[in-house]
């Protein structure tokens, strides 16, 4: 491209130039343009190499330990919410490794049990389990004992008044199964009210309809950590 400009465009512009100063400015401008383009191509190549070198495709794979494998086998055999054994193995293996990076204090057995319960309750409510994982991360960061200043409790930060509303005032929202059952049911209800609009449904769940801060937090968590490969 530069050669074409140099061969055809410059002679024409040179004839129209009114002074030598104009010519010098023109040649200088073309030179700088070509130099910047060359520099941008070089920087692009360097950036691409850096991205490829840090890609998961180039990362060293580490095999799971035997304890985790044994726990997965037991969890898979008792995973009623999965369509088949292979789906259970893939999902539990994938999500348990991601959860381990978020909840280091919990053992493998506890993590797998939690993942099974999340998958079961999300599936029961016809929600994507990955979406529920993202909501839990934002709401409580997987702390089953989380308590907000407003009084919301547990993994999915369910408000206690719901227990009275459903005639179960003595139930415990810090109980994982109870919290997940109510949280997933409530989330599904709000999503249905918004005709599947995730932004508005999530905002309703958080009590912030009309604002995008909370939905965006969930979307970021879903995109960065809980997406399904």
Give dist(CA 228, CA 159) in Å, integer: 29
Give dist(CA 124, CA 20) in Å, integer: 80
First to last CA, the chain: 42
Beta-carbon neighbour count of residue 70 at 10 Å? 12
Give yes or no for a contact between 102 and 142, defined as CB atoms under 8 angstroms apart. Answer: yes
SS3 51: helix
Give dist(CA 201, CA 187) in Å, integer: 7
Give dist(CA 4, CA 24) in Å, integer: 19
Question: Has 139 been annotated as catalytic?
Answer: yes
Gyration radius (Cα) of the chain, Å:
28
Residue 218 tokens, joined: 């969930």
Q: Find the catalytic residue in 18, 139, 165, 194.
A: 139
Instruction: Give the list of residues 6+ apart from residue 111 with CB closer than 8 angstroms, or none.
Output: 96, 99, 100, 103
Give yes or no for a contact between 136 and 155, defined as CB atoms under 8 angstroms apart. Answer: yes
**How buried is residue 58: exposed, middle or buried, by Cβ count under 10 Å (0-12/13-18/19+)?**
exposed
Residues forming the active site: 139
């Amino acid at each position: 491209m530069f050669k074409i400009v140099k061969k055809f465009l410059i002679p024409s512009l040179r004839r129209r130039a009114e002074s030598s100063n104009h010519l010098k400015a023109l040649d200088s401008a073309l030179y700088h343009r070509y130099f910047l383009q060359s520099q941008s191509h070089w920087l692009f190549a360097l950036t691409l190499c850096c991205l490829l070198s840090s890609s998961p495709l180039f990362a060293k794979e580490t095999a799971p330990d035997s304890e985790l494998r044994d726990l997965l086998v037991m969890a898979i055999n008792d995973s009623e919410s999965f369509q088949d054994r292979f789906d259970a193995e893939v999902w539990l293996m994938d999500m348990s490794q991601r959860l381990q990076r978020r909840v280091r204090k919990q053992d493998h057995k506890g993590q797998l049990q939690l993942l099974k319960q999340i998958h079961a309750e999300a599936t029961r409510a016809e929600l994507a389990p990955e979406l529920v994982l993202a909501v839990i991360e934002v709401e409580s960061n997987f702390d089953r004992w989380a308590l907000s200043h407003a009084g919301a409790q547990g993994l999915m930060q369910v408000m206690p008044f719901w227990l009275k509303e459903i005639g179960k005032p003595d139930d415990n929202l810090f109980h994982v199964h109870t919290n997940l059952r109510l949280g997933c049911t409530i989330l599904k209800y709000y999503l249905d009210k918004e005709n599947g609009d995730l932004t508005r449904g999530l905002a309703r769940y958080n009590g912030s309809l009309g604002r995008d801060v909370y939905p965006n937090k969930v979307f970021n968590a879903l995109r960065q950590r809980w997406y399904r490969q």
